[in-house]
């Protein structure tokens, strides 16, 4: 009779330990998925603003503010390569020089495509801009 109690207690203990371990790993997976989702959504928005609102557009107070925000987002959510490109771009702008967005846009595009399991794309971003369009 005592052996039956031991078997029941061991079975219950194993079930509880299994549940705790399963819960721990599910919680970690959920946190990682949420973090990935947040980073991807911010980088997609950053890519869109850089490509559509800033690139090849007239420099205004609004575009300057958007560029500042986008560089901050890249330095918060971006990869090491993207962060280096953002710092380089910030230095170019701070020194009053012209700046090229293509390297950072290509880095964002490549990273986002990889994260979303899309096939890689080679080459630079192609631009289409119509005259007379204002920001």
Task: Select from 95, 94, 112, 131 the least CA-distant residue to 50.
Answer: 112
pLDDT digits (tens, 9 = 90+) for 98-117: 778 889 999 999 999 999 99
pLDDT digits (tens, 9 = 90+) for 4-55: 888 899 999 999 999 999 999 999 999 999 999 999 999 999 998 888 888 7
pLDDT at position 135 is: 47
**Alpha-carbon distances of 59 from 54, 66, 111, 130, rounded to whole Å:** 8, 11, 27, 16
Distance CA 118, CA 114 (A): 6
pLDDT reading at 82 higher than 50: yes
Predicted confidence band of residue 133 (pLDDT cuts 50, 70, 90): low
pLDDT at position 16 is: 92
Predicted confidence band of residue 1 (pLDDT cuts 50, 70, 90): low
- Over residues 55-80, the mean pLDDT reads 86
pLDDT at position 4 is: 84
pTM for the predicted model, two decimal places? 0.72
Tokens of 31: 């946190």
């Amino acid at each position: 009779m005592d052996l039956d109690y031991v078997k029941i207690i061991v079975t219950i203990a194993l079930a509880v330990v299994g549940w705790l371990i399963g819960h721990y790993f599910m919680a970690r997976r959920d946190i990682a998925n949420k973090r990935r989702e947040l980073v991807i959504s911010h980088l997609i928005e950053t890519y869109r603003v850089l490509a559509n609102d800033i690139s090849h557009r007239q420099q205004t107070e609004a575009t300057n503010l958007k560029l500042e925000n986008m560089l901050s987002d890249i330095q918060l959510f971006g990869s090491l390569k993207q962060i280096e490109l953002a710092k380089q771009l910030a230095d170019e702008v701070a020194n009053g020089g012209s700046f090229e967005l293509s390297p950072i846009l290509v880095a964002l595009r490549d990273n986002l495509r990889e994260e979303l399991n899309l096939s890689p794309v080679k080459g630079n971003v192609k631009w289409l801009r119509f005259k007379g369009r204002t920001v």
